[in-house]
A and B are shown apart, each in its own frame.
Chain A
Amino acid sequence: MKLFNKKGAMLVAALAVAAVSCSDDDDVTGNVVTTDFTGTFVQQDQMGRPGINTVFPTTDAEENAFNTTLPADGIARWQPTFQSKVEALYTAYSNTAGTTLTYENNILGLDLPTLTTALALDVLQVAPNATTNYFNPTTGLPLTGRALSDDVIDVSLILLFGGNTGARFDGNNGTPNLVSDNVGLEPGVIQSAFPYLTAPRF
């Protein structure tokens, strides 16, 4: 299964200017697809878990820098920033509520430094031998994958604002609702068979 087997010489000739024709792509009409796989590709954007760069970096410069921070460097570079951001949100709601509100260890038992350490290493976990969800309320297991139907925003809010019950600020008893944006998967956008997303609607 080598792309260039049929024209092996092309591999050798894959110079910077090369735009190689691949005989694999000769179709019945005789069209030849021109392909070029040469060159150095330089990082523009990256993503592991949902919403991280949307929520935590604050300034334009931080958001740009986050997209080119290697996962090997994520914790050292971003954990303090993330923790400050969460603390600032609690401060804002303290001002709204007229009383001091601070982060409480969440349903996973994680304190704020530990939670923001895990978030700053922005890679998604996916388990080959377990259910694969951002959080599975049945098993209680977090971070074993991200399914198309997972309500990742609510999970993220619960981890940040839910406290040890997951419902600390749920809109009841005079609290603000900070644990759900009240939206779910739209009907008809996913399907059970590959490729799992349904045809577009324009």
Chain B
Amino acid sequence: MKKIALWSSIAVCAAAGIFIAADHLDAPAVAMTTSDIADFYAFEGANSDATTFVVTLPAADANAQFDENVLIEINIDNTGVEGSTPGVVEDLVIQALRQGDKMYFFGPYAPAQTGLNSTIDPDAFAASVDIGSSTTVGGVSYFAGLRQDAFFFDFEAFNNVVGTAPAAGFGTTGNNTFEPLNVNALVIEVPNALLGSAPPHIVDQLLGPNAPGLPVAYNVWVETKRR
């Protein structure tokens, strides 16, 4: 009952155009559900030998929770473009699933199957963290809980530009659509040693002889998967 009320309130806000982050509300099938990804970041944090992953999901209010049946899966390709297909396949995954008042993390590990369906290998369990808290286990730092939304974008102006092509374009002033928002955030800082060697940069791989010579880089993406 509580959940229904919670997500109904999100639906109202979403209908008003409030929740649209860099990915959020992109597709009708997931918009306004607990599997809707808002944003994904990957960067070097305080530890220069580690990579930090940030995944955010919309949070309408202080009661917003991660869904206990929605797996959050960070995918890591460390082999680059393989074979004749100009695409990539995950070599490692980091999985997170909330149960009760904790978030449970698995991996990074090579999944039994790649693609649209996933299972959790309990042997790959790495750590758990109380929702709203941080912990460090085995050199990996973990956080799961409510945070401010760092994304910034004048989404209304963008819609205007792509909708009606006004002569001024975005003009000279903007309004950040996301300034008052919060998110449910997963933050994981992983030593690069656990991610394997990075492959040649995908842009270099795609361009071949015209490669600009970019640094080697993992290819990463996040998925939400529901059981």
Residue from B36, B153, B221, B225 within 8 A of A122 (CB atoms) = B221
Query: Judging by beta carbons under 8 Å apart, are B170 and A180 in contact?
Result: yes
Query: Judging by beta carbons under 8 Å apart, are B88 and A67 in contact?
Result: no
What CA separation (Å) do A190 and B46 show in the bound complex?
13
Indicate whether A45 sits within 8 Å of B116 (C-beta atoms), given known contacts A123-B221, A176-B168.
no
Query: Judging by beta carbons under 8 Å apart, are A45 and B168 in contact?
Result: no
What CA separation (Å) do A118 and B70 show in the bound complex?
29
Q: Is A109 an interface residue (CB 8 A)?
A: yes
Minimum CB–CB distance from A137 to chain B (whole Å) comes to 15
Query: Judging by beta carbons under 8 Å apart, are B44 and A45 in contact?
Result: no
Number of interface residues of B (CB under 8 A): 117
Query: Judging by beta carbons under 8 Å apart, are A48 and B221 in contact?
Result: yes
Of all chain A residues, the one with the shortest Cβ separation from B137 is: A1
Q: Chain B residues near A165: list those with CB within 8 A.
A: none
What CA separation (Å) do A76 and B87 show in the bound complex?
9
Query: Judging by beta carbons under 8 Å apart, are B28 and A89 in contact?
Result: no
Q: Chain B residues near A108: list those with CB within 8 A.
A: 212
Q: Is A29 an interface residue (CB 8 A)?
A: no
Of all chain B residues, the one with the shortest Cβ separation from A149 is: B150
Q: Chain B residues near A15: list those with CB within 8 A.
A: none
Indicate whether A178 sits within 8 Å of B216 (C-beta atoms), given known contacts A46-B37, A195-B143.
no
Number of interface residues of A (CB under 8 A): 107
Query: Judging by beta carbons under 8 Å apart, are A44 and B35 in contact?
Result: yes
Q: Mark B153-172, 1 if CB is under 8 A from A, else 0.
A: 11001100110011111111
Indicate whether A201 sits within 8 Å of B182 (C-beta atoms), given known contacts A45-B27, A47-B23.
yes
Query: Judging by beta carbons under 8 Å apart, are A71 and B180 in contact?
Result: no
Q: Which residues of B141-195 are within 8 A (CB) of A?
A: 141, 143, 146-154, 157-158, 161-162, 165-176, 179-180, 182-183, 185, 187, 189, 192, 195
Residue from A146, A153, A176, A177 within 8 A of B43 (CB atoms) = A146
Query: Judging by beta carbons under 8 Å apart, are B215 and A144 in contact?
Result: yes
Of all chain A residues, the one with the shortest Cβ separation from B22 is: A50
Q: Which residues of A128-161 are within 8 A (CB) of B?
A: 128-133, 141-149, 151-153
**How many pairs of A and B residues are in contact by the CB < 8 Å rule?**
367
Q: Chain B residues near A182: list those with CB within 8 A.
A: 154, 157, 170-174
Query: Judging by beta carbons under 8 Å apart, are B212 and A195 in contact?
Result: no
Q: Which residues of B71-111 are within 8 A (CB) of A?
A: 71, 73, 75, 77, 85-90, 97, 99-102, 104, 106
Minimum CB–CB distance from A189 to chain B (whole Å) comes to 4
Minimum CB–CB distance from A190 to chain B (whole Å) comes to 5
Query: Judging by beta carbons under 8 Å apart, are B216 and A33 in contact?
Result: no
Of all chain A residues, the one with the shortest Cβ separation from B123 is: A2
What CA separation (Å) do A148 and B166 show in the bound complex?
30
Minimum CB–CB distance from A109 to chain B (whole Å) comes to 7
Besides the known contacts A128-B216, A146-B42, 20 further A-B residue pairs in the complex with CB atoms under 8 A apart: A2-B125, A33-B102, A43-B224, A44-B30, A44-B35, A45-B23, A54-B22, A66-B26, A71-B77, A72-B85, A73-B85, A95-B165, A122-B221, A126-B43, A126-B218, A128-B218, A143-B217, A147-B41, A176-B170, A194-B46
Binding site for A on B (CB under 8 A): 20, 22-23, 26-30, 33, 35-37, 39-46, 51-52, 54, 59, 61-62, 70-71, 73, 75, 77, 85-90, 97, 99-102, 104, 106, 115-120, 122-123, 125-128, 134, 137-138, 141, 143, 146-154, 157-158, 161-162, 165-176, 179-180, 182-183, 185, 187, 189, 192, 195, 198, 201-203, 206-207, 210, 212, 214-227
Binding site for B on A (CB under 8 A): 1-4, 11, 14, 24-25, 33-48, 50-55, 57, 60, 63-64, 66-68, 70-76, 89, 92-93, 95-97, 108-109, 114, 117-118, 121-133, 141-149, 151-153, 169, 171, 175-178, 180-186, 188-190, 192-202
